[in-house]
Homo-oligomer: A and B are copies of this chain.
Amino acid sequence: MSKPLILVTNDDGIESKGISSLIEVAKQYGEVIVVAPDSPQSGQGHAITLTSPIRLRPREIFKDIEAYECNGTPVDCVKLAKNILLKNRTIDLCVSGVNHGSNASLNIIYSGTMSAAMEASIDGINAIGFSLLDYAKNADFEASKIFAERLIPIMLDFKGTKGQLWNVNIPKLPADEIKGVKFCKQGIGGWKEDFKIAEDPRGEKYYWLAGSFVKNENASDTDLWALDNGYVSVVPSQHDLTDYNGIKTFSYLNEL
């Protein structure tokens, strides 16, 4: 049997420490192809590049690994991998990350890391996004690697419906202080924005997005609770955004 084909991508860019860590793990389980942004793309969500062409350039930065950088978004990277580089092959798994910073709770919708993984899952490719709760460039990814080693083979062996998508977040703790993995739901939280307002050298006012994350619940079945309590959180996620209760609430308006 041939080795599984694993696509690795991220949103922090091909030169980030997090993607190197993930490649080190992924290559134990299959043939790895890397397609990642040539520059940091945090906060790109599910953006795609429509109004300009994009480029794909080979990079020899990971020993014995075929790797490409792309000047588009994380989702562009996955689209190019699926449709150009690996057009005639079956991708067995897409892993994205390891992101520098949390993608728990509401962060999933802003996250290029998770959107890249989702883009793979849309086409029936099982996908995992990994994020470490440490924004530092030089963060310690040892615990992330240990849990990637636990989760990647499980997803590769999973026999159920294809297109599974896991949002995995790893607490900023030494590996031996992490209690294990919790499959859980997306906790309720959000950003309290605090724009920096200043004037540019030309005297025109500008706004620069900043803020802090606020947790609005801490129920024990959420990713927020799991992370606060020393667990790796895994939120099975999907691209069906339908609010099914809403359909019931408003069905009296049908045929309006």
A20-28, A53-61, A91-99 - the one binding chain B: A53-61
Q: Does any Cβ of B come within 8 Å of A193's Cβ?
A: yes
Contact with B along A192-221 (1 / 0, CB 8 A): 011101101000111111000000000000
From B193, B231, B251, contact of A183 by CB (8 A): B251
Chain B residues contacting A51 (CB-CB under 8 Å) are: 40, 42
Residues A53 and B200 in contact, CB atoms below 8 Å apart? yes
Q: Does any Cβ of B come within 8 Å of A247's Cβ?
A: yes
CA distance A93 to B206 in the complex (A): 26
Residues B45 and A45 in contact, CB atoms below 8 Å apart? yes
Residues B55 and A204 in contact, CB atoms below 8 Å apart? yes
Residues A181 and B255 in contact, CB atoms below 8 Å apart? yes
Given contacts A118-B109, A207-B54, A182 and B255 within 8 Å (CB-CB): yes
Given contacts A184-B247, A237-B243, A45 and B115 within 8 Å (CB-CB): yes
CA distance A253 to B166 in the complex (A): 13
Chain B residues contacting A43 (CB-CB under 8 Å) are: 47-50
CA distance A164 to B243 in the complex (A): 9
Interface size on A, residues (CB 8 A): 82
Residues A53 and B207 in contact, CB atoms below 8 Å apart? yes
Q: Does any Cβ of B come within 8 Å of A180's Cβ?
A: yes
Given contacts A53-B208, A207-B56, A208-B54, A238 and B234 within 8 Å (CB-CB): no
Given contacts A241-B237, A250-B234, A49 and B179 within 8 Å (CB-CB): no
Chain B residues contacting A237 (CB-CB under 8 Å) are: 241-243, 246
Q: Which of A48, A122, A237 has the most CB of B within 10 A?
A: A48
CA distance A220 to B165 in the complex (A): 27
Q: Which of A55, A151, A167, A256 has the most CB of B within 10 A?
A: A256
Q: Does any Cβ of B come within 8 Å of A80's Cβ?
A: yes
Q: Does any Cβ of B come within 8 Å of A84's Cβ?
A: yes
**Distance of A8 from chain B, by nearest CB (Å):** 19
Q: Does any Cβ of B come within 8 Å of A145's Cβ?
A: no
Q: Does any Cβ of B come within 8 Å of A82's Cβ?
A: yes
